[in-house]
Chains A and B, each alone.
Chain A
Amino acid sequence: MSIFIYISPFARKAVKIFSVGIRAFCTIHITNEYIIEITQCLGPSMLPTLNMVGDFIALERITHRLKLLENGDVVVCVTPTDPWRSVCKRIIGMPGDRVCIDPTTANRRYITVPSGHVWIQGDNMSNSTDSRNYGPVPYALIKGRVFARVWPNPCWVKNGLVSLDVFK
Chain B
Amino acid sequence: MARFFSSNPTIRVCAGIASWIPVIVWSIDHGFTISSVSGRSMQPTFNPDSNQLTRDIVLLNRQAAISHKYKRGDVVTLYAPDDPDKVITKRIIALEGDTVFTLPPYPDKFLRIPNGHCWVEGDDTYHSKDSNTFGPVPLGLINAKVTYILWPLPRFGKVPHIEKPGRVAIYADPSAF
Contact = CB atoms under 8 A, between A and B. Distances in A.
Are A and B subunits of one complex? yes
B151 interface: no
Contact of B26 (A30, A114, A115): A30
B82 A140 contact: no
A26 interface: yes
B25 A115 contact: no
A141 B141 contact: yes
B154 to A, nearest CB: 35
Interface in B98-116: 114-116
B139 interface: yes
B22 A116 contact: no
A83 B22 contact: no
Interface string A20-35: 0011001101100100
Contact of A30 (B22, B68, B80): B22
Contacts of B79: 138, 140
Contact of B81 (A22, A30, A67, A116): A116
Interface in A125-147: 134, 138-141
A44 interface: no
Interface string B8-32: 0000000000011011011001000
Contacts of B174: none
B29 to A, nearest CB: 7
B95 to A, nearest CB: 12
Given A80-B140, A81-B114, A138-B138, A26 B25 contact: yes
Interface residues of A, number: 24
Given A26-B23, A33-B29, A116 B140 contact: no
A138 B79 CA distance: 9
A78 interface: yes
B20 A83 contact: no
B83 A116 contact: yes
A151 B45 CA distance: 52
A114 B116 contact: no
Contact of A141 (B19, B82, B138): B138
Interface in A35-66: none
B129 interface: no
Given A81-B115, A83-B116, A83-B139, A114 B22 contact: no
A84 B80 CA distance: 19
Contacts of A22: 23
Nearest to A28: B22
A78 B78 CA distance: 14
Contacts of A27: 19, 22
A97 to B, nearest CB: 15
B166 interface: no
Contacts of A84: 68
Interface of B: 19-20, 22-23, 25-26, 29, 68, 79-84, 114-117, 137-141
6 contacts: A26-B25, A79-B140, A81-B138, A83-B138, A140-B84, A141-B140
Top 7 A-B residue pairs of the complex, sorted by shortest distance between their CB atoms: A140-B79, A80-B138, A78-B140, A26-B22, A139-B84, A116-B82, A83-B139
